[in-house]
Structures are given as C-alpha cells and as structure tokens.
Amino acid sequence: MANDVIGFPHNATGAILYALIRNDSGEIWETVSPAFEAYLTANLGSYEIALTEQGTASQFYTFVFPSAITAGVYSVAVYIGADTGTSPAAEGDIVVAEGEVEWDGARVVDNVDLSGALLQTTIATLASQVSFTLTDGPPDNAVFDRSFMVVEQDGTPGKIALGLIDNYTGGTKTITLSNDPGIFTMAIGDKVKIYPVTPAMPDRLPGTFTGMPLIGINLPQAPPDTPGGLPISDAGGLDLDAALSLAMQRAVDAIVLGTVGSSSTVTNIVTSSLTPSAVDSNQFRGRIVTFAQATTTTSLRGQSTNVIASTTGGELTVTALSTAPVSGDIFTIQ
C-alpha cells in the first residue's frame, strides 16, 4: 500500500463501508469543496469516503487519505451502509470502527502508538543492536531501567520490534537492551517509544480502530495458523493489541527476581530469595544475572554476569564479578 492508504480488516466480504474524517474542532471533511466545514445533515453524501475491498473476498478494506488535508491528527470513523450498495450514507448507519490518524500532509505518520508512553523519540547513533543513543531523553540515569521499548522501522510504519531495557545512561542518552529483538536491523532514524511495565496493559492502541488495528504500510495480516500461540483476530489476521500485550507479559514472566543472602563471593552468589524459586539443579544455567540500579553495593549497579551453574538451594556460580555482593543486594536473572 502507498503511504496515504488506510487499511481496515472487517469480518465480512462485500460490505458497504465508508469513512468520515473530522478535525480537532469537530468539523467534518467535505470532499467536493474540498474543505472542513460544520456538519450539515444535508451534506452527508459529500462527506463519505468509500472503502474498497481488496481482491474478491479478502475482508480487507482500504481508502486513500485525502492529500488536500493539511498535517495534523484527525478522527476517522468507519460506517457500514445499506446492503444494496446503491443507497447513500445515512445518519442511522452503524459505526464499525473509530480511531485517530496522524497525518504529515503526505503520509500516515504513526499507526502504532502506545498509551502511557514515557518517551517518543528516534535512534540517534548505534553501537550495536543492543546499545544505541536516543535523539532526546532525560538526563537522569536508570529512569527507563526495566521499561519496555517499541521500535518502529523508519519508512515502514507498522513494522515493529519489542525490547526490554536493561540500562539507561542519561548523560549520553544511551539505551542498553537485555537482548537483540531480532525482528529487523535497527538503524538511525527508527522511531522509539518507551513505556513502563504495569499490571494492566492498555486495552487498545491509540491510533487504532477500537477492536481492530488501523493499518498503514506493511503491517502484515498473519495467516490463521500463525505459530507461537499469538492471538488471531476475527478477520483471520494477527490481533496486534493482544499480541503485543501477550509478548510483554511473557517477557515479564520470564524474569527471575533475586535477593542476595550472606557469605557470597565474586563467583558464588548465595541467595536469600528467588522468585520463582529454584527447584532443579542448573535451572538457571546459561542465563544472565544483572544487578539493579538501586542495589546496595554501588559498584555492582548495572553489572551483569552469566550463570555457570545453580543449585536447588538457589546458589549461583557465576563468572567473576568485580566485587562480592552483600546481603540485601538485588538482581534479576534473564
């Protein structure tokens, strides 16, 4: 699709769908003038923008966002019209989707946004796929530690990768991820959104239609047999809202929280608690221990080491740390 095309999956083929566009003043786009104007019932027929179904029975409908509209954020509502296909829009037609579109005057800017984002910026420089600097960011260290990051590939709206932030350095605006997301090769200019991990994930993505993703360029519709347990929408495509929430929850569930007990050394961490608990020998072998920014031992803050072996009692044999941890130090195992 071109950058000005809006896509919408619907649960039926052959539907008569049309869109209405409003600005932040509540005025509606009139397609004949063309211009925004105060709503008039008599002009409803000149407000509607018809959606076209792709193929013969794809259940996927598109329309071209009007190029005459200036840059801004606009409300879009999609209605289902009369089944005959001959009747014009009517005020009794049912709304099947609604949402917002960010438009830069030539293309849809951002279809994949998240409520509660702590920061929205871009990648400034890259040292690697797990370490890069941001164009903008706060000066304080550790403010984004253990937060989630969504990267959207520049020039390919809808193509996203998820990452868990291990460390943020405010002085250089440097992000360090726990691992390479591995979805695509991140590059300078890619959009970055950072948001906190909370018990209640957003119930939908602003910038999407309620219950259905608002789709711009190259946001793929997954086949019905999508692997990995990802949720599928009624239209047979990947339910992005639910998939994103599921991916985040799985990442959080995989993190082990630990507290150091007494008598630890640089190569042996004695724990007073692990969540979840150790129940098998070498249960955590091959994983990474990272000490929290708020841990007691200053020189261990942000320091990581790999687990060589572990016991059922929760003792971890690790590659040598710079300093032996003390009782009360806190860490994660990933």
Q: 65, 6 in Cβ contact below 8 A? A: yes
The pLDDT value recorded for residue 248 is 66
* Same domain, residue pair 108 and 12: yes
* Same domain, residue pair 282 and 212: no
pTM of the model: 0.38
* Same domain, residue pair 235 and 263: no
* Same domain, residue pair 109 and 180: no
Name every residue whose Cβ is closer than 8 Å to that of residue 151 and which is 6 or more positions away in sequence: 123, 160, 161, 162, 163, 181, 186, 190, 191, 192, 193
The pLDDT value recorded for residue 157 is 65
Q: Which two tokens stand for residue 162?
A: 């998820």
The pLDDT value recorded for residue 263 is 93
Which portions of the chain are predicted below pLDDT 70?
Answer: 1-3, 82-88, 109-117, 157-158, 197-250
> How far is residue 285's CA from residue 83's CA, in Å, rounded to a whole number?
61
Name every residue whose Cβ is closer than 8 Å to that of residue 287 and which is 6 or more positions away in sequence: 256, 306, 307, 333, 334
Which whole-number Å values give the CA distances from 225 to 7, 209, 232, 236, 291, in the listed order? 22, 24, 9, 9, 40
Give me the residues paired with residue 20 across strands: 77
- Cα 226 to the center of its chain, rounded Å: 19
- Cα 115 to the center of its chain, rounded Å: 10
The pLDDT value recorded for residue 88 is 63
Q: 302, 314 in Cβ contact below 8 A? A: no
The pLDDT value recorded for residue 70 is 92
* Same domain, residue pair 184 and 327: no
What's the DSSP call for residue 43?
G
Which domain range does residue 22 map to?
A: 1-113+200-253
> How far is residue 230's CA from residue 247's CA, in Å, rounded to a whole number?
9
Could you give the number of structural domains in the chain? 3
For the segment 17-33, what is each residue's pLDDT rounded down to a tens digit? 899 999 988 999 999 99
For the segment 75-98, what is each residue's pLDDT rounded down to a tens digit? 898 888 765 444 568 888 888 777
